Structure 1
Amino acid sequence: MTTRARATATVTWPEANARRLARQHLYGGLASTRTPSSSPPSPASTPSPPSPPSPSDVVGAMLGAHAQVLSAAELSVGLRGEGLTRTDVRTALWADDPARRTLVKTFGPRGTVHLLPAADLPLWTGALRAVPTGPHPFPKGARMSPEQVEEVVAAVGEALRGAELTIDELSEEVVARTGPWAGDLVVPGFQEMWPRWRQVLHLAGHRGVLAYAPNRGRKAAYTNPGCAPLPGPEATAALLERYLYAYGPATPAHFAQWLAAPRRWAAGLFASRAGSGAIEEVAFEGAGPAWVVAGDTDFPAAPVRGVRLLPYFDAFTIASHPRERLFPGRASERALGGGQAGNYPVLLVDGTVAGVWHQRRSGKRIAVTVEPLEPLSAARLRALEAEVERVAAIVEGKTELTVGTVSVGPHA
């Protein structure tokens, strides 16, 4: 029979929300510069003014920036760093000097394309390759045997070593190195059928043998980042602690949803880390028993104030729970697509979702429409205007703000 230790602290939703926003550089004055893997400062050291976060600092704090649409990722990063622009993000990704490439575009949590810090790639690949897979999503005739999967992943890594290939070039190499079966057009794609081997493209990313290279014209290209993944147990333990540092208090179900992992596996990981003393339980308003990194129980008393805009699939809106507290009342109807966060860019007022917005770009001109769910005061309208100007600076354009109804649907 197992027993649960009594929670030693109670955390309210405003406290948790304020700390999450601060640690993601979305709300000033509360963010700690330490992460769970950092060493404490020396008592004899003299504190120096914090420097503005770099793109890799920001992406590390977010635990990855969703980058299926790269412009949304650029905005997510820019909104968290003073003076950062999309050019800074692109430089961190694609600089001619490899030493300046501090970000990697690859397959991250949930098997979706993310920006990740280059320095953290061994941790991410070690953790992601250790996450158990769910039911096979493809029909029986399209599937690959475990041996075929390993053969394709090895072929991808070999083909991309020291090379940058488009998907068509990579496909030719994989089929040549494995066999015609890998090229059978059996995988449903975007209005076409893809070759069989494409179903493990994301797995090659999780194994550390595939990442995006700079586009060749309008075509995506890939390369082998030469990553040696950390051992699975070490990597999953570190990723859990980083997740709790950024989004705690959280439950195993929250972690499993964020990672697209089985709940039973997540519960086992939490139990293991709790047993080792690495994480501790708290009582979390609206969620019941939840967890934080051991000793990380300081929360701000002051509530969040201010107006922020966040783009599609921003990490904060996807990973924050309980979702009904972040999307209260009408916000859950207007800003969640079938209960899924990230489908709409959102307006935050005092730290919670209070509207949606949309941008339409034509050259340097960007028409921004913001739809608040409740009328904004004069002070908040001025704050919104300032936030739209920040968006303009990040995306390097000129904005025109309209406060009114957003008429487009999700992903528009």
Structure 2
Amino acid sequence: MTTTDVTWTRASARRLARQGLTVQGLTAQGPAGREGPEGAGLGSPADVVGAMLGAHAQVMSAAELSTALRLPAGTTRTDVREALWSDRTLTKTYGPRGTVHLLPTADLPMWTGALSAIPAGPDPWPDDVRMTPQQTDEVVEAIRDALAGEPLTVDELTEAIVDRTGPWAGDRVMEAFQDKWPRWRQAAHTAAHRGALAFGPNRGRKVTYTSPGVTPADGPRAVPELVQRYLHAYGPATPAHFAKWLAAPPAWARDVFAAQATAGRIEEVVFDGAPAWVVSGDTAFPDSAPPQGVHLLPYFDAYLIASRPRERLFPGAAYARALAGGQAGNYPVVLVDGTAAGVWHQRRSGKRLLVTVEPIGPALDSARARTALAAQVDRVAEILESRAELTLSTVSVGPHA
């Protein structure tokens, strides 16, 4: 049996196309049996968020930009907000790595089933702060009961949880942003993963929580589905890549991949000279030409987080400049032909969007690249409903600023 040999260039071209970040056409079949050009069918915010396996939404404007950039010209942040709060085809909740994400509402049974099946890692909280497993279960059920009605603010939910569990759940013992949070909040992401909690629309400046109205799928069914979707979007990949992306135990990820290989659902390829995995039968890749295009990707864009090996996505000086201690997402990145070639920063001034781009290396030196960069800046401004002004200079702000 001949093993497929996949280069970084071919893999990155397919990953970009499958997320709607290129217009290259390559017929393939996705894990759910959909056929057509790569990136075809991404006609709505929910389609896009599903294709990239969640939009990181700790910074909501970044999630809106990540999503709209992958949709046709004319799409703005308002379209993403309508999908989230009006159409409810998107849900804001705790996703991979226990961080806030937008996820397709239709996919919540799979997501909650898979995320709740991941073994818990070491508890990071001190002994006098952490909750026991029994207390965590009590809090999750209290949240589920409290959110059966109208959305609640943090303070309202805290009061409801304390009423149902006891004062220990409301003790302000968690260090958080020069403040202290009530003890129960260490279980917020667990409650979301068990289908008990999601974010509701803000009430003024106050965050609210609501019930997602979802029953998690069985873990043994949901985890293999998540592996299929992950490999379709970001393969070839290894169990270690999958574990990093999910913040899951590496040994668990190895066992999951081994079981999927035994079941014939995934197959091994050679990726840049080392073994990696794709969905069985999903071995068609573009030719050796590098992917084309310039993209301004915001904080914690899914492509930057999930694409590995990271040293190929951030080559040379980009590894030191565009990452924060090796962690992707802390800087918005200028992607040129599939690799990091700069960092950028935006600042609003009324209706003006002041965009500073700091090139890394020569990739932005050509007239073609500069023209594409200017067009991408205009597209970002369109999404954010503003007027763009571009400056090429050093980005002086630090990570996640």
Tell me how far 1:141 sits from its aligned partner. Answer: 1.1
Contact 1:7 1:289 in 2 (8 A): no
Flag structure 2 segments of 5+ consecutive residues without an equivalent: none
Match of 2:192 in 1: 205
Query: Secondary structure, in 3 states, of the residue corresponding to 1:186?
Result: strand
Please show how residues 370-389 of structure 1 align to structure 2 within 5 Å.
370-375=357-362, 376-389=365-378
Match of 1:80 in 2: 70
Residues 166-208 of structure 1, C-alpha deviation per residue, up to 9 Å, x if partnerless? 1111000000110011111221111111111111011111011
Residues 242-291 of structure 1, C-alpha deviation per residue, up to 9 Å, x if partnerless? 000000000000000000000000000000000000000001105x1000
Tell me how far 1:370 sits from its aligned partner. Answer: 0.5
Which range is displaced more, 182-191 or 351-360?
182-191
The 1:177–1:130 alpha-carbon spacing in structure 2 relative to 1, beyond 3 Å, is same
Contact 2:297 2:332 in 1 (8 A): yes
Contact 1:7 1:282 in 2 (8 A): no
Match of 1:152 in 2: 139
Please show how residues 178-189 of structure 1 align to structure 2 within 5 Å.
178-189=165-176
Contact 1:108 1:128 in 2 (8 A): yes
Contact 2:28 2:284 in 1 (8 A): no
Match of 2:25 in 1: 30
Q: Which amino acid aligns with 1:294?
A: S
Which range is displaced more, 51-60 or 235-244?
51-60
Match of 1:241 in 2: 228
The 1:40–1:25 alpha-carbon spacing in structure 2 relative to 1, beyond 3 Å, is closer
Match of 1:313 in 2: 300
Match of 1:92 in 2: 83
* Aligned partner (choices 43, 55, 60) of residue 50 of structure 2: 60
Contact 1:85 1:393 in 2 (8 A): yes
Query: Secondary structure, in 3 states, of the residue corresponding to 1:15?
Result: helix
Please show how residues 141-290 of structure 1 align to structure 2 within 5 Å.
141-285=128-272, 288-290=274-276
Q: How much is the aligned-residue C-alpha RMSD, in angstroms?
A: 1.6
CA distance, structure 1, for counterparts of residue 29 and residue 192 of structure 2: 28
Identity of matched residues, %: 65
CA distance, structure 1, for counterparts of residue 13 and residue 156 of structure 2: 47
Please show how residues 59-138 of structure 1 align to structure 2 within 5 Å.
59-82=49-72, 83-95=74-86, 100-138=87-125
Residues 54-112 of structure 1, C-alpha deviation per residue, up to 9 Å, x if partnerless? 000000000000000000000000110003210000000111xxxx2100000000000
Which range is displaced more, 368-377 or 149-158?
368-377
CA distance, structure 1, for counterparts of residue 27 and residue 341 of structure 2: 27
Match of 1:3 in 2: none
Contact 2:152 2:209 in 1 (8 A): yes
CA distance, structure 2, for counterparts of residue 307 and residue 33 of structure 1: 24
Tell me how far 1:34 sits from its aligned partner. Answer: 4.5
Tell me how far 1:211 sits from its aligned partner. Answer: 0.4
Query: Secondary structure, in 3 states, of the residue corresponding to 1:245?
Result: helix
CA distance, structure 2, for counterparts of residue 145 and residue 112 of structure 1: 22
Tell me how far 1:33 sits from its aligned partner. Answer: 7.5
CA distance, structure 2, for counterparts of residue 170 and residue 240 of structure 1: 34
Using the size of structure 1 for normalisation, the TM-score is: 0.94
CA distance, structure 2, for counterparts of residue 59 and residue 380 of structure 1: 27
Match of 1:12 in 2: 7
Q: Which amino acid aligns with 1:90?
A: R
Using the size of structure 2 for normalisation, the TM-score is: 0.96
CA distance, structure 2, for counterparts of residue 226 and residue 345 of structure 1: 34
Q: Which amino acid aligns with 1:59?
A: V
Query: Secondary structure, in 3 states, of the residue corresponding to 2:119?
Result: coil
CA distance, structure 2, for counterparts of residue 50 and residue 409 of structure 1: 37
Q: Which amino acid aligns with 2:345?
A: H
Tell me how far 1:7 sits from its aligned partner. Answer: 6.8
Tell me how far 1:52 sits from its aligned partner. Answer: 5.4
Contact 1:7 1:281 in 2 (8 A): no
Query: Secondary structure, in 3 states, of the residue corresponding to 1:321?
Result: coil
CA distance, structure 1, for counterparts of residue 368 and residue 85 of structure 2: 40
Query: Secondary structure, in 3 states, of the residue corresponding to 1:407?
Result: coil
Query: Secondary structure, in 3 states, of the residue corresponding to 2:128?
Result: helix
Contact 1:23 1:31 in 2 (8 A): no
Residues 315-353 of structure 1, C-alpha deviation per residue, up to 9 Å, x if partnerless? 001000010000000000100100000010001111100
Tell me how far 1:125 sits from its aligned partner. Answer: 0.1
Tell me how far 1:50 sits from its aligned partner. Answer: 5.2
CA distance, structure 2, for counterparts of residue 7 and residue 277 of structure 1: 16
Query: Secondary structure, in 3 states, of the residue corresponding to 1:385?
Result: helix
The 1:394–1:40 alpha-carbon spacing in structure 2 relative to 1, beyond 3 Å, is closer
Q: Which amino acid aligns with 1:113?
A: V
Contact 1:65 1:116 in 2 (8 A): yes
CA distance, structure 2, for counterparts of residue 30 and residue 270 of structure 1: 29
Contact 1:279 1:291 in 2 (8 A): yes
Query: Secondary structure, in 3 states, of the residue corresponding to 2:93?
Result: strand
The 1:382–1:143 alpha-carbon spacing in structure 2 relative to 1, beyond 3 Å, is same
Flag as ranges the 4+ runs of structure 1 deviating above 4 A.
Answer: 31-34, 49-52
